[in-house]
Amino acid sequence: MINPDKYEALSKLFSYPDEKYIDNTKNAIEVLEKTNPQASQEVEEFLKLLPTNIYSQQELYTKSFEVQAITSLEIGYVLYGDDYTRGEILANLTAEHNKVGNRLNGELSDHLSNILRLLPKIEDKELLNDLVTLMVAPAVENMMKEYTPSSMKQKEKFYKKQYKTLILPSVPLGIYLHLFKALYMVLDSDFELIKENRPFEDVSFFGFLKSELEVEEGKKSSNSCTMNFNSCGTPIAGCGL
């Protein structure tokens, strides 16, 4: 049985900031210090860089995950984009949330904050292990990779071309990487992740985003870029992203 306190604490840090966000961050540091001190240190680094003004916190969150985003917090989207497979994932996750009475707080069923609150409530150990090792951990890995300098520069160039201007927050966008690292450390500690045997190929959020915008502009039809999966759920045919 995994510790629900640390997953609840982390889930609040991946939610849209409110007036309690700094207190929630401090609480996460304290909770993780008992079981995952290295993860606690990553959250401390995040807090050092976090602006004290709630509006700046919200601006940072919006820029990181919603408008001209670095990545998405919806794990199904990170892994599959808007492929039909994600629809199946959303439906199945919604059923799991409903089964244990897990409220979605206005977000989709695959939003990271909802998933983290769901994990400690899943009693089926096999289901829990599969959800983490086959979906949550690979998605978090991909989220972290979007913060590499090359990926950040690529997105910046793309957004400049697409929108003619960039939204520039007053706080360095990279600070959320500390939270992703902390979360991955916790998952690795609880589920002994086997990094060299992932069932998913690396999937780029930027690639999906670029494809979607090209469809909107009529550069290619929505049927010309599909992804197929084998029986293990591994992509076997891409669209050259």
Q: Which tops the pLDDT comparison, 64 or 164?
A: 64
pLDDT value at position 172? 72
Domain 4-204 fold? TorD-like (1.10.3480)
Candidates 208, 192, 85; CA nearest to 146 is: 208
**Lookup: tokens for 175:** 């600070």
Higher pLDDT: 236 or 129? It is 129
User: What is the pLDDT at residue 166?
Assistant: 65
The answer to whether the CB of 57 falls within 8 A of the CB of 17 is: yes
Read off the pTM.
Answer: 0.79
- Which residue type sits at 225? C
CA angle at 78 for the pair 187 and 177, rounded to the nearest 5°: 55
pLDDT bucket at 31, cuts 50 / 70 / 90: very high
User: 10-21 b/e with 16+ CB inside 10 Å = b?
Assistant: bbbbbbebeeeb
- Inter-residue contact 104 to 111 (CB < 8 Å): yes
Distance between CA atoms of residues 204 and 209, nearest Å? 9
Please give the radius of gyration of the chain, using alpha carbons only, rounded to the nearest integer.
18
pLDDT digits 0-9 by tens, 74-120: 999 999 998 888 999 999 999 999 999 999 999 999 999 999 999 99
Whether the CB-CB separation of 176 and 182 falls below 8 Å is answered with: no
Q: What is the pLDDT of residue 200?
A: 41
Return the higher-pLDDT residue of 233 and 186. 186
Residue 164: burial class (beta carbons within 10 Å; 0-12, 13-18, 19+): exposed
CB-facing half-sphere around the CA of 226: CA atoms within 13 A: 8
167: pLDDT confidence band, cut at 50, 70 and 90? low
Cα separation, 148 vs 169, whole angstroms: 18
Least confident of 42-46, 150-154, 207-211, 226-230: 226-230
pLDDT at 201 (0 to 100)? 45
pLDDT at 230: 39
What's the half-sphere exposure (Cβ side, CA atoms, 13 Å) at 116?
Answer: 27
Mean pLDDT of the chain: 83
Q: Which two tokens stand for residue 144?
A: 């972290």
Domain boundaries, the chain: 4-204
